[in-house]
């Protein structure tokens, strides 16, 4: 082993791995269909953070026999706070000027972000991370909240364990806690659950960060030898590259609806990640050489700022389009603005403040940088007045609270102008169809009651097929010949043919219409294909292809690309009138 050096060791391979992680996250947020598992990049950041922080603290303890907690917290503040404060101030200013419609919610999110409790705030506010039903440009800060909570408590716990017990006890303790966190997540999970509680929770996500902690104990980069035996060098490189490739495949194959993630999957992928890290921090690893390419290390150094800025920019741009139906130039604008603001934040906020502290704000230095600030603000203003003022023809609904029909949950609705095509007709007024579905059904409830006065409408926000199956038992008395059942069950998560058959069997004597879904998630095509498969194998099942009807009609949809605006409500009503008789 090499002797300890006082200077912090630079690990270019980790910067390269950071680059892969942040690129994956950005691609996922641009469009989940591009990289369904890109959100797993957050776990890579968690593990890297746990590894680096523990390495720094263990090194200090070995050299001094204690930990200077004040110095540690001061460095964390200088490293993290200025960039995020710059983001919060800039975002708030922009929204005051150009996006007043989201200010009410944004102010609450800013407070949570300022105190690094965003993850618990989103749990309390019942936010679904994977279904962005409203613009929340700070939603991505949940992960930084978990990291900061970790930074507050972990050094104290580590110091107590090392002082009062031993290094071995610390390793055992953190191993047990990591396993408990993984088991706790698996215990809370069940099919059909809204997984954001599991995804946001510090308790459930601690597992991956602690894996990084454990790696720092057993594989400290500062003690790794150069020029190891050829067999060891080959093993380190092969194992590292193999796990790295598996991780890259998982980014493409896994999605947020993959149940195994919450039943040990995060932990398993975390083990692969620490194997990757172990390889990329070794001085003679082939993976280290691959991840140390100049472009990757440059992106890696910008990764914190890129992470901070990409999501607000994406949300604010997409707020003026239908989610999942963006033109190509919108993606170019999102990427360009992300790089620009991240570069500015890194070079003029993050780095100088870390080096100089408050002296960075001396008058003469601020004057020298004033032209750059003016240019940036001018660009921001230009974007606000020119690009964002060129909205699509889609206008937000004027909502009024309604609870009608047989709705399980109230939902904000808007009145729709009836036409001769959608009004009640002799063909529909005597029908008594049963509609079971989610918030899309809630959107069109007024139209349905107008078109089918005798209909039973049961819609609930967030309802998945796993909730629809037991609900169907309440309507068993309607499972009879001549009855019509219409099912909206594809919006809120993936499912398999077994679940679909289970639901269809509840109404095997009726005429069933399955409404295909349009949802900007990776499972969209899968659930639609299952509906068509069921229709081809069951004589009593037909498909109402809303996906086909709504193709190339962004004016049908609200911001989220799921819920309906006036033209969409009209089009869906017309689809029912022409098909259900």
Known catalytic residue at 560:
yes
Residue 562 — pLDDT band, cuts 50, 70, 90?
A: confident
Q: Give the mean model confidence (pLDDT) for residues 493-507.
A: 90
Which of 289, 309, 329 terminates a domain? The answer is: 309
- pLDDT tens string 413-449: 333 444 444 444 545 566 789 999 888 888 888 888 8
The pLDDT of 281-294, averaged and rounded, is: 93
pLDDT tens, 89-110? 999 999 999 888 888 899 999 9
pLDDT tens track for 441-489? 888 888 888 888 888 889 887 788 888 999 999 999 999 999 999 999 8
CB-count burial class (<10 Å; 0-12, 13-18, 19+) for 156: exposed
Q: What is the average pLDDT value for the chain, to the nearest integer?
A: 85
How many distinct structural domains can be found in the chain? 2
pLDDT, position 118: 96
Domain-ending residue, one of 264, 290, 309: 309
Query: Domain check: are 404 and 305 in the same one?
Result: no
Question: For residue 215, what pLDDT is reported?
Answer: 97
Walk across the sheet containing 511-515 and list its strands: 456-459, 434-437, 484-487, 511-515, 541-544
- Whether 399 shows a pLDDT value over 50: the answer reads no
Q: State yes or no: is 563 an active-site residue.
A: yes
Residue 16's CB is within 10 A of a number of other CB atoms, namely 25
Q: Are residues 304 and 425 in the same domain?
A: no
Q: What is the pLDDT of residue 522?
A: 76
Q: Which two tokens stand for residue 456?
A: 């039973």
The single residue of 196, 439, 464, 550 carrying the catalytic annotation is 439
Give the pLDDT confidence score for residue 405 in this predicted structure: 38
Tell how strand 434-437 and strand 411-413 pair up. unpaired
| Positive or negative torsion for Cα 72, 303, 211, 275 | negative
Domain CATH code at residue 464? 3.40.50.1110
Q: What is the pLDDT of residue 409?
A: 37
Whether residue 549 has pLDDT greater than 50: yes
What pLDDT score does 183 carry? 98
Q: Report the C-alpha gap between 449 and 404 in whole angstroms.
A: 9
Q: What range defines the domain where residue 184 resides?
A: 12-309
List pLDDT tens digits, range 209-225. Answer: 999 999 999 999 988 88
Contacts of 63 (CB under 8 A, 6+ apart): 4, 6
Kind and range of the H or E run holding 486 = strand 484-487
> Is residue 4 over pLDDT 50?
no
Return the pLDDT at 189. 93
Q: What is the DSSP letter of 459?
A: E
Distance from C-alpha of 562 to C-alpha of 130, rounded to nearest angstrom: 13
Instruction: Tell me whether residue 197 is in a domain.
Output: yes
HSE at residue 202, side-chain half, CA atoms within 13 A, is 18
* Phi (first) and psi of residue 247, to 5 degrees: -60, -45
Average pLDDT over residues 273-287: 94
**Is residue 355 a part of any domain in this protein?**
no
Is pLDDT above 60 for 518? yes
Q: Is the pLDDT of residue 74 over 50?
A: yes
pLDDT tens readout for residues 330-385: 999 999 999 999 999 999 999 888 877 656 555 555 555 555 555 555 555 545 54
Residue 354 lies in a domain: no
3-class DSSP state of 270: helix
Query: Higher confidence at residue 17 or residue 225?
Result: 17
Question: What length does the chain have?
Answer: 581
370, part of any domain? no
Q: Quote the pLDDT of residue 354.
A: 80
Do both 100 and 226 map to the same domain? yes
Reduce the DSSP state of residue 28 to 3 states and report it.
Answer: helix
Is 81 a domain residue? yes
Q: Among this protein's residues, is 439 annotated catalytic?
A: yes
Q: List pLDDT tens digits, range 30-70.
A: 988 899 999 999 999 999 999 999 999 999 999 999 999 99
Which residue has better confidence, 155 or 525? 155
């Amino acid at each position: 082993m090499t002797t300890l050096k006082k200077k912090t060791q630079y690990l270019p391979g980790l910067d390269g791995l950071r680059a892969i992680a942040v690129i994956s996250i950005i691609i996922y947020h641009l469009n989940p269909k591009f990289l369904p598992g890109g959100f797993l990049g957050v776990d890579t950041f968690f593990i890297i953070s746990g590894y680096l922080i523990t390495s720094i603290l263990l090194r200090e303890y070995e050299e001094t026999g204690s930990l200077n907690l004040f110095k540690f917290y001061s460095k964390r503040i200088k490293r993290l706070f200025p960039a995020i404060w710059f983001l919060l101030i800039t975002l708030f200013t922009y929204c005051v000027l150009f996006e007043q419609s989201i200010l009410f919610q944004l102010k609450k999110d800013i407070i949570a972000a300022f105190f690094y409790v965003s993850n618990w705030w989103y749990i309390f506010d019942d936010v679904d991370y994977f279904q962005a039903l409203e613009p929340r440009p700070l939603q991505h800060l949940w992960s930084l909240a978990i990291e900061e909570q970790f930074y507050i408590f972990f050094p104290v716990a580590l110091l107590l364990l090392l002082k009062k017990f031993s290094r071995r006890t610390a390793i055992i303790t953190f191993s047990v806690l990591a396993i408990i966190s993984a088991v706790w997540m698996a215990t809370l999970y069940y099919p059909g659950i809204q997984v954001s509680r599991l995804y946001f929770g510090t308790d459930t996500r601690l597992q991956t960060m602690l894996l990084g902690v454990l790696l720092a104990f057993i594989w400290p980069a500062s003690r790794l030898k150069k020029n190891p035996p050829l067999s060891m060098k080959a093993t380190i490189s092969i194992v590292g590259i193999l796990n790295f490739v598996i991780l890259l495949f998982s980014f493409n194959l896994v999605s947020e609806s993959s149940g195994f993630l919450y039943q040990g999957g995060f932990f398993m992928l975390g083990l692969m990640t620490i194997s990757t890290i172990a390889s990329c921090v070794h001085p003679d690893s082939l993976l280290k050489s691959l991840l140390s390419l100049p472009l990757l290390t440059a992106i890696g150094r910008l990764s914190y700022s890129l992470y901070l800025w990409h999501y607000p920019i994406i949300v604010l741009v997409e707020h003026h389009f239908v989610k999942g139906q963006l033109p190509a130039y919108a993606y170019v604008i999102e990427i360009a603005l992300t790089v620009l603001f991240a570069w500015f934040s890194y070079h003029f906020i993050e780095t100088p403040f870390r080096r100089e502290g408050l002296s960075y704000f001396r008058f003469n230095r601020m004057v020298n940088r004033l032209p750059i600030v003016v240019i940036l603000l001018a660009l921001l203003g230009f974007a606000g007045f020119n690009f964002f003022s060129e909205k699509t023809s889609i206008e937000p609904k004027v909502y009024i609270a309604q609870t009608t029909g047989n709705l399980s949950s109230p939902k904000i609705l808007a009145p729709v102008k009836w036409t001769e095509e959608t009004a009640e007709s002799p063909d529909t007024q005597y029908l008594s169809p049963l509609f079971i579905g989610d918030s899309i059904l809630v959107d069109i409830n007024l139209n349905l009651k107008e078109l089918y006065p005798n209909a039973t409408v049961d819609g609930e926000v967030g309802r998945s097929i796993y909730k629809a199956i037991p609900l169907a038992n309440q309507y068993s008395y309607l499972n009879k010949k001549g009855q019509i059942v219409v099912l909206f069950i594809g919006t809120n998560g993936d499912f398999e043919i077994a679940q679909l058959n289970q639901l269809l069997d509840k109404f095997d004597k009726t005429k069933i219409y399955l409404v295909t879904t349009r949802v900007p998630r990776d499972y969209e095509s899968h659930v639609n294909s299952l509906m068509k498969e069921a229709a081809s194998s069951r004589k009593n099942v037909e498909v109402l292809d809303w996906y086909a009807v709504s193709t190339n009609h962004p004016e049908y949809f609200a911001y989220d690309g799921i819920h309906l605006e006036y033209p969409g409500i009209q089009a869906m009503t017309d689809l029912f009138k022409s098909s259900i008789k």
